Amino acid sequence: MEQSTEFERETREVMEWFERYDALAAAADVESMADQAAFPINEVTDDAEGFGVVGQCDRGRFIAQMREVLAGVGGVQMDSVRRPIFLSGALCFVVTDATFTTGGEAHTMRYGDLLIKTAEGWRFQTMVAGGWAEQMEG
């Protein structure tokens, strides 16, 4: 019973982390978004040729990328379904199916984040999403 309670607590912590992070993204508060990371972070995506691409990102690059991605996103509604997969009590890979609606048009996306538990709380360390190679090259 105690193990189930621990799992429920950890799951709740991760889901609450995402609620806070989503609110920061909606407010385009990229500095505070960066505070939620364990830098350098790993980025994993694919390119136009269909090959996997990996890279590392420091805080400055992350802030620049997020400013570009979030520029002019006012009025965007995001609905997400998240599935946390605990690899251990301190490592959680979260798969997200998201729908972004803007101007009456909906776009769906699946992505994943590896969160690590630190002394300061949960932080994301790896972001995985298809189709972002151009942003990584910038």
Compute the distance between CA of residue 21 and CA of residue 47 in angstroms, rounded to an integer. Answer: 26
Query: How high is the pLDDT of residue 104?
Result: 82
Compute the distance between CA of residue 30 and CA of residue 128 in angstroms, rounded to an integer. Answer: 18
Amino acid type, 67: R
Residue ranges making up the domain that contains 45: 2-137
Sheet holding 105-118, edge to edge: 52-57, 37-46, 121-129, 105-118, 91-102, 77-88
Compute the distance between CA of residue 58 and CA of residue 70 in angstroms, rounded to an integer. Answer: 18
Kindly report the CATH number assigned to the domain that includes residue 51.
3.10.450.50
Compute the distance between CA of residue 129 and CA of residue 89 in angstroms, rounded to an integer. Answer: 24
Question: What's this model's pTM, rounded to 2 decimal places?
Answer: 0.87
Answer whether residue 131 shows pLDDT above 90: no
2-19 per-position pLDDT tens digit: 667 888 999 999 999 999
Residues β-bridged to residue 123: 116
What pLDDT band is residue 56 in, cutting at 50, 70 and 90?
A: very high
68-117 per-position pLDDT tens digit: 888 766 666 788 999 999 999 999 999 999 998 877 888 899 999 999 99
Query: How high is the pLDDT of residue 127?
Result: 95
Per the structure, the count of domains in the chain is 1
